[in-house]
Structure 1
């Protein structure tokens, strides 16, 4: 079999040390091949963004990381600084949620897209300008917008600029952390179609993070659902969305009203309470205090991912299908 583009093995991320240590990511395993799209879903605080930042070692000094992050077989966690600097942008790049927080308000967008090209490709200014025009065309913007400042663009246009920046050095992997959350539904659909087409056209891997299971199910090939720092369900996107084996995956899918279903609009299902504090996780399965089908053993046993074929869930109900 062809080696996956991205392999994450037993990844742990802990903030702080000693009795005040906070486990944000706990033993995550993921695979992503070229030309494929993997979605990571979960509520705020489940470890999604920490996972994204860990992939390129962008976490603060207080974070302790263990495990393996293999990008084309090379472990990101053991790279020397010079090699890591080269891999960022050229090997893998990130698209963050808020374009206005990522773009420099006093620089034209063309200069910001050109910066990694000049640094990593050692291109001439003329070559960089040509590449900027090409990238803007790829994301559906006229080359003339290169002279615009961020505040002169709409939200959707700014997000397209962020995608153009991510593509600037032809990375093999793009990590998109909530790239469409702040956009209206029409622009969101345009951006998602654009990202999907770029993955196909350029044969790159996409790891997309969102709290919206429906968006990920429509965009991605596979889904991983995270809760309290762990992957509690992983499988084909359609199966996880419509036939989740973990009660948490079912709750995420049910939390959004369905078009044409008045009952779900009036009373969308969901979950009571909030995700647990990572610094004070409950014993056993971390989900059991909110789980509608928990059993006595769930308070002491923390199940591992199990299941049939390629759809797995960390739940005592998983072997028998949806809980």
Structure 2
């Protein structure tokens, strides 16, 4: 029997997570998420919507002064209630993070083998020689020769450095990987290789994965479920392919429509978009925070805040105009457009 089948609770359960920075910036507002072992959750949204703040909060990596409330249950234990010694033990060994921009995350004056070995030495009782050997094994696991342990970061390509970051994330055998824009600045061929590598590792090691990106197409192709964030909140979530192809929240539809679809001349020559920017987290608008940019906004949207409601099987959306009936109508309209 697999670990996934006997697990009674999700690997990660986030409840009512709120993050406020000094000055009153509400970067994350009441987010609920779940991730099971062997499953992949994508988190999408524009810059400034709270995705990276959410990722940092999961491992208590936020800067001093940030106020955090809610629950972050990793294997049933609340990360926010842990003492610092427990938090340090959870990082790398329980959950680890792959940051965007590998060149900025790696130390330019240390060999990559030493950098991969560092968390192994900190979290396990082993020798330096054994840790270096393990670093070589991890490099091979992500598709690089073990001999590259002696290389410096500048001697590797962008895709190779990203593979090193993934190897570091796997160093202590975590159950959860958080990947924050793992393919930023990579060309499309290397991007595809990195995404396939991540999928393979999740399947082989029964890992839980949270992948953060602004690219809904990448997330729909890689993840099982997708959560779309706007102004610090999840405004839609559901099966990744369905949210991408048949979004029901106006913001999700705008994000999806901004990406041209291969084989669809209409989207290629007239990609949809959304004017304006996400609101200032210090001065959020009243009512639904998306209403100033929403093409479907009504007078009620300016005064009534919205929470997630059922929007179809396994789907939720935070919109006054969305419910099971409206979700079905939106899906039917999308299918009609695709066949016309």
Q: TM-score, normalised by structure 1?
A: 0.97
Match of 2:321 in 1: 317
Shift of 1:122: 2.1
CA offsets per residue over residues 163-192 of structure 1, 9 Å max, x none? 000000000100000000110000000000
1:207 corresponds to 2:210 = yes
The answer on whether the counterparts of 1:223 and 1:237 sit within 8 Å (CA) in structure 2 is yes
Match of 2:283 in 1: 280
CA offsets per residue over residues 214-253 of structure 1, 9 Å max, x none? 1000000000000000000010001100111100001111
Give the 3-state SS of the residue equivalent to 2:109 in structure 1: coil
Can you give the 5+ residue segments of structure 1 that lack an aligned partner in the other structure?
A: none
Match of 1:138 in 2: 141
Shift of 1:302: 1.0
Match of 1:8 in 2: 14
Match of 1:179 in 2: 182
CA offsets per residue over residues 140-199 of structure 1, 9 Å max, x none? 000011110000000000000000000000001000000001100000000000000000
Structure 2 counterparts to residues 77-96 of structure 1, below 5 A: 77-96=80-99
Give the 3-state SS of the residue equivalent to 2:92 in structure 1: helix
The answer on whether the counterparts of 1:245 and 1:317 sit within 8 Å (CA) in structure 2 is no
Whole-Å separation in 1 of the counterparts to 2:248 and 2:309? 10
Whole-Å separation in 1 of the counterparts to 2:207 and 2:284? 37
Match of 1:188 in 2: 191
Match of 2:259 in 1: 256
Aligned length: 320
The two structures, once aligned, show a CA RMSD in angstroms of: 1.0
Shift of 1:263: 2.7
Shift of 1:310: 1.3
Match of 2:220 in 1: 217
Whole-Å separation in 2 of the counterparts to 1:66 and 1:188? 35
1:265 corresponds to 2:268 = yes
Whole-Å separation in 2 of the counterparts to 1:220 and 1:81? 32
CA offsets per residue over residues 37-58 of structure 1, 9 Å max, x none? 0000000000000000000000
Give the 3-state SS of the residue equivalent to 1:289 in structure 2: coil
The answer on whether the counterparts of 1:175 and 1:208 sit within 8 Å (CA) in structure 2 is yes
Match of 2:111 in 1: 108
The runs of 4+ residues in structure 1 deviating greater than 4 Å are none
CA offsets per residue over residues 98-126 of structure 1, 9 Å max, x none? 00110000000000000001111121122
Can you give the 5+ residue segments of structure 2 that lack an aligned partner in the other structure?
A: 1-6, 332-340
1:121 corresponds to 2:127 = no
Whole-Å separation in 2 of the counterparts to 1:159 and 1:83? 28
The answer on whether the counterparts of 1:43 and 1:227 sit within 8 Å (CA) in structure 2 is yes
Match of 1:243 in 2: 246
